[in-house]
Amino acid sequence: MALVEIRNLSILRSGREVIHDFSATIKPGNITAIIGPNGSGKSSLLAALVGDISISSGSITFDGRDITTFSLLEQAEIRSVVMQERSYWLSYSVREVIAMGQGAQAVARIAEILATLDMVDFAEQSVTTLSGGEAQRVEIARALIRDSDIYILDEPLSAQDAASKARIITILQKLRDQGKTIIVTAHIDKSALTWCDQIIETFAQ
C-alpha cells in the first residue's frame, strides 16, 4: 500500500515551466490515469514521479516520504516503471531481456508473466524482430514481474490491439484489487478510460 502525494509541483525543462504549482493525491487500490494534451507536461510529471528528472519546487512523496530521499535501490523496490522509449540493438531473446538485472524472485515469475501477457509464442524470439506492440509488452513484463507497491506505466496500451488491451487492463485491475497503486498516462479521451478509478488532467502552461 502506498499513497502518492504531489504537492505544489513545478518542473522546469530547458528554461520553460512545463508543470506549474500542480497538486494531486493518488490513492492505493486505485488505477489513476494522468491525461492531457501534447506539451501539457504529462511526460515530465511521469519522469519526475519515477525520479528521472529533478523538480524545481514542491514535492512528491510515497507514503509521506519525499522521493528525493530514496536511494536508487529503494525507489526500485517501491515502484516499477514502464516507459515508452526502448532501444533494442542486440539480438537477446524476449525471455533474456525480461530477466536482465532482475532479482531471483522476479526471474522465478517469468513463465507466469509470459503466459499472462500472451508472449509464450515469441519468448525465444530476438527482441530486435518484435513489432511495436510486442516490444511494449516486453517492457510491461519487465515491470510486472517485480513485486512493487506502485506501478507507473507510460501509455501502456498505445501500441496494443484490442485483445492485448483487454488483457493488460485485467492484469492492472487485479493488481489494484491487491491494494497496489497504479498510475498510467494516456493520450485518449476520458470516455475510453472507464477502467480507471481516478483521472488527473494536466493543462498546457
Partner 1 sequence: MKRFILVITVLPIVAVLALAVGASDVAHVWSHIFSPFHDVNNTAHQIIWSIRAPRVFAAILVGASLGIAGVLAQGSTNNPIADPAILGTSAGASLGVLIGVLFNVVTIGSIGAVVFAAVGALLATLFSFSLARSALQLITIGIGVSAILSAIVGLTLAMISRPDARSVSFWSFGSLALVTPLILWVLLPIFLIAAVLAWKMAPALDLLSLGDASVRHIGHDAQRIRRKAFAILAVLVAVSVSSVGTIAFLALAVPHIARFINGPRNRTLVPFSAAIGALVLLGADTAARSIVPPHELPIGLLTSLIGAPILIATLKRGGDVWR
Beta strand residue intervals within the chain, DSSP E: 4-13, 16-26, 31-35, 57-62, 65-66, 79-82, 150-154, 181-186, 198-201
Among 52, 66, 112, 147, binds partner 1 (CB under 8 A): 52
- For position 147 contacting partner 1 by CB under 8 A, the verdict is no
CA–CA gap between residue 131 and residue 114 (Å, rounded): 16
Choices 13-21, 32-40, 95-103, 194-202; region in contact with partner 1 by CB under 8 A? 95-103
- For position 28 contacting partner 1 by CB under 8 A, the verdict is no
Residue 65 or 190 with smaller CB distance to partner 1: 65
Residue 3 or 78 with smaller CB distance to partner 1: 78
Among 14, 15, 69, 73, binds partner 1 (CB under 8 A): 73
Other Cβ atoms closer than 10 A to 4:
23
Is 98 exposed, middle or buried, given 0-12, 13-18 or 19+ CB atoms closer than 10 A?
buried
Residue 85 or 189 with smaller CB distance to partner 1: 85
Residue 31 or 98 with smaller CB distance to partner 1: 98
CA–CA gap between residue 114 and residue 134 (Å, rounded): 11
Q: How far is the CB of 44 from partner 1 (least distance, A)?
A: 14
Among 100, 104, 162, 163, binds partner 1 (CB under 8 A): 100
Q: What are the grid coordinates assigned to 198, written together?
A: 481516478
- For position 88 contacting partner 1 by CB under 8 A, the verdict is yes
For residues 5-37, one letter each, b for 16 or more C-beta atoms within 10 angstroms of the residue's C-beta and e for the rest, the string is bbeebbbbeeeeebbbebebebebebbbbbbbe
185 neighbors 46 (Cβ within 8 angstroms)? yes
- For position 205 contacting partner 1 by CB under 8 A, the verdict is no
Q: How far is the CB of 79 from partner 1 (least distance, A)?
A: 8
Interface residues with partner 1 (CB under 8 A) are: 50-52, 72-77, 80-81, 83, 85-92, 96-97, 100-102, 128, 142, 146
